[in-house]
Amino acid sequence: MAAPKKTMRALQYDKYGGGAEGLKHVEVPIPSPKKGEVLLKVEAASINPIDWKIQKGMLRPFLPRKFPFIPVGDMSGEVVELGGGVTNFKPGDKVVSISFPTGGGLAEYAVAPASLTVARPAEVSAAEGASLPTAASTALQQLKAMGVSSFDGSGSVAASTDNGPKNVLVTAASGGVGHYAVQLAKLAGLHVTATCGARNLGFVTGLGADEALDYKTPEGARLQSPSGKRYDAVAHCATGTPWSVFAPVLADTATVVDVTPGVAAAARSLLQKVTFARQRLVPLVLVPKKEEMEWLVELTRQGKLRTVVDSRYPLSRAQEAWAKSMEGHATGKIVVEMGGEE
Ligand SMILES: NC(=O)c1ccc[n+]([C@@H]2O[C@H](COP(=O)([O-])OP(=O)(O)OC[C@H]3O[C@@H](n4cnc5c(N)ncnc54)[C@H](OP(=O)(O)O)[C@@H]3O)[C@@H](O)[C@H]2O)c1
């Protein structure tokens, strides 16, 4: 019988900066799951902008916790070993996990916390599962932060959002987070205006957006709804939009949930809070939750939530996936598949 494998292929970087070329192919020991962790044979991992923002040093000195660092937290795989105290999984289980900020996903094996690991049914592919944890959870938490509480697909605004928004804007609706936000907003029965580049206008209406705006046109830059609607809420997934652009297109009472807030946005948010402003900017930082991941996987299984994969790469070409994410022009999600065609 062949001896069990002790090392694995992985990509890691050993200093801040360097982009895709800073990622090096290495052969390193397979990690051991500690208490509360599972060891996965990784099948797919998806890259999020936070992964290369950490490499750029944008969360310096907190992340990464140490060098060298194997990046990427969103993954699907098969459980091969359980750490102490883990009783709800067994070897052979197919799962979806997020190991943020520990990372480790750009490898053949990775450890993940059992508390943020959920079962992946056969109907949900490894690529779909790996795409969900950060992007879809962020979209879901954006909608919840607007006051949306029901996603029953009835299309009935009144039923789901008596106190919540009716008209919403999703910016960067063609991206990883935005393409889920459009679909979740439609499941909540909202009227959705979406911004994206010209090439993706049909893509976002295909996801269910009621109207779409090219962000490079003057109307798009002003976020002006083609039908003249004012927004009760905005799922803001693009970067660098000043408050002066939002204010004229918002309803009298409105919430902009911003997942890319800069210093000016944070200051604006604080000022609005202390002055009890009715138009509010709310910064949001994802806090992953197991029950939300389970719900998103189930929605995918039922065919109600679609993951659009922009591009797939084998581990041997993961630098290309990294570069593609850094370019900022993905339509949907960028996935690295460990068993993929080399
Ligand atoms: N706060 C949190 O916890 C949290 C969680 C997840 C993500 N985020 C952040 O949210 C942002 C979006 O993440 P993502 O994964 O969705 O990124 P992504 O997939 O890389 O987004 C790329 C897409 O955004 C579109 N886009 C870029 N600028 C745009 C603009 N001004 N207006 C309309 N569309 C625009 C691009 O269209 P074109 O190709 O046509 O330009 C492209 O399709 C990132 O900055 C990420 O770091 C934050």
- Tell me the pLDDT tens digit for each residue of 170-182: 999 999 999 999 9
User: Measuring from atom 14 of ligand 1, which residue has the nearest CA?
Assistant: 176
Q: Is the CB of 65 under 6 A from ligand 1?
A: no
Buried b (16+ CB within 10 A) or exposed e, 41-52: bbbbbbbbbbbb
Q: Answer whether 225's CB lies under 8 Å from 200's CB.
A: no
The secondary structure element, H or E, covering residue 129 is helix 126-145
What is the tens place of the pLDDT at every residue in 105-143? Answer: 999 999 999 999 999 999 999 999 999 999 999 999 999
Query: Counting Cβ atoms within 10 Å, is residue 150 exposed (0-12), middle (13-18) or buried (19+)?
Result: middle
Q: Residue 239 corresponds to which amino acid? A: T
Which pTM was predicted? 0.97
pLDDT tier for residue 161 given thresholds of 50, 70 and 90: very low
Pocket flag, ligand 1, residue 286 (CB < 6 Å):
yes
135-283 carries CATH number 3.40.50.720: yes
92 CA distance to ligand 1 centroid (A)? 35
Does residue 160 have a pLDDT over 50? Answer: no
Q: Which residues contact 316 (CB under 8 A, 6 or more apart)?
A: 25, 342
Residue with CA nearest ligand 1 atom 25 = 172
Residue whose Cα lies nearest atom 20 of ligand 1: it is 328
Atom number in ligand 1 closest to CA 173: 34
Asked whether the domain spanning 135-283 has the same topology as the one spanning 7-120+308-337, the reply is no
Ranges of each domain in the chain: 7-120+308-337, 135-283
Topology given in CATH for the domain delimited by 7-120+308-337: Quinone Oxidoreductase; Chain A, domain 1 (3.90.180)
Cβ neighbours of residue 85 closer than 8 Å, sequence gap 6 or more: 35, 36
CA distance 242 to 254: 16
Q: Which atom of ligand 1 is nearest to the CA of 49?
A: 47
Q: Does 170 contact ligand 1 (Cβ within 6 A)?
A: no
